[in-house]
């Protein structure tokens, strides 16, 4: 095959390996999402597990979750290794390729100049075909990058496969724990259970209030007793004192009361006022 044909083939292989790299990265992200989801479920079961209801069932659930976490840890290790720490080879920047072409052109000019001046052996130093050299260089670069990236992608794909396999295997103990957790109603917060919720802070505050009410009631009883004793004492003293009869009021003969005077105020056109009394009536 000619260099141009190899260049086209290696370029396609290079681009294909880059696409495979992105697909593997997406698969690893899916593994991370599933691991996070099952960790959330298992954490809830551990946190809300009722160990006082069925001890044997609770121990079985804990043992299943331990096996689950062990498998999940190995799966997570494979997933991290597939996602992180892998090196890939990329083609050099376009500016460097352009600089290489310019260097080849400059090299041909120097070779021609040296041949014209007769310096050195003209047979050992010859001009090169710039197009052919560049195609050969690009073909070799694509081949190197595609080969290296293919090996890295194969290793990453194997790690993702192992991560998925261990993740699926970890679902077995998790499923056993979930069936026991739901079947035997091992959730401590289940509404079907009759349990008491004790708030220590509220209980302490209620106790303080009750003690305060008791103290106030005790003081009220003591104050009531003191008042009753003072009242009995005052009643006893009043009973001992002799009662004095009021002095008779001396009354004279009956007298006729005076009738109140009538005051009438009249106004004429000149706004003058005069008073009319009982003497006017008598007249």
- The answer to whether 57 touches 180, Cβ cutoff 8 Å, is yes
- The answer to whether 82 touches 163, Cβ cutoff 8 Å, is yes
pLDDT tens readout for residues 54-108:
888 989 999 999 999 999 999 999 999 999 999 999 999 999 999 999 999 999 9
- The answer to whether 49 touches 62, Cβ cutoff 8 Å, is yes
List of residues 6+ apart from 153 with CB closer than 8 A: 17, 20, 21, 24
pLDDT tens readout for residues 108-164:
999 888 888 876 555 567 889 999 999 999 999 999 999 999 999 999 999 999 999
Does the predicted TM-score (pTM) go above 0.85?
Answer: no
Higher pLDDT residue, 52 or 106? 106
The pLDDT value given to residue 281: 46
**Where along the chain do its domains lie?**
3-183
Question: Residue 60, Cα to own-chain centre: how many angstroms?
Answer: 32
Higher pLDDT residue, 281 or 228? 228
């Amino acid at each position: 095959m000619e260099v141009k044909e190899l260049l086209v083939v290696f370029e396609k292989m290079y681009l294909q390996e880059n696409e495979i790299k992105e697909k593997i990265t997406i698969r690893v992200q899916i593994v991370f999402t599933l691991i996070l989801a099952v960790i959330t479920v298992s954490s809830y079961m551990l946190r809300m597990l009722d160990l006082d209801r069925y001890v044997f069932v609770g121990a079985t659930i804990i043992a299943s979750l331990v096996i689950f976490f062990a498998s999940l840890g190995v799966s997570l290790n494979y997933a991290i290794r597939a996602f992180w720490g892998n090196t890939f080879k990329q083609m050099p920047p376009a500016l460097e390729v352009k600089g290489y072409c310019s260097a080849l052109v400059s090299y041909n000019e120097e070779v021609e100049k040296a041949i014209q001046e007769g310096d050195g052996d003209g047979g050992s130093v010859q001009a090169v075909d710039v197009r052919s050299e560049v195609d050969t260089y690009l073909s070799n670069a694509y081949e190197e990058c595609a080969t290296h990236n293919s090996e890295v992608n194969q290793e990453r794909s194997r790690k993702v496969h192992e991560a998925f396999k261990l993740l699926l295997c970890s679902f077995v103990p998790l499923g056993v724990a979930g069936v026991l957790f739901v079947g035997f109603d091992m959730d401590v917060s289940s509404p079907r259970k009759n349990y008491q919720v004790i708030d220590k802070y509220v209980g302490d505050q209620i106790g303080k209030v009750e003690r305060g009410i008791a103290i106030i009631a005790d003081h009220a009883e003591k104050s009531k007793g003191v008042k009753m004793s003072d009242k009995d004492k005052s009643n006893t003293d009043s009973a001992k004192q002799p009662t004095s009869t009021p002095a008779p009021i001396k009354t004279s003969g009956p007298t006729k009361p005076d009738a109140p005077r009538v005051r009438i105020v009249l106004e004429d056109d000149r706004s003058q006022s005069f008073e009319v009394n009982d003497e006017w009536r008598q007249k």
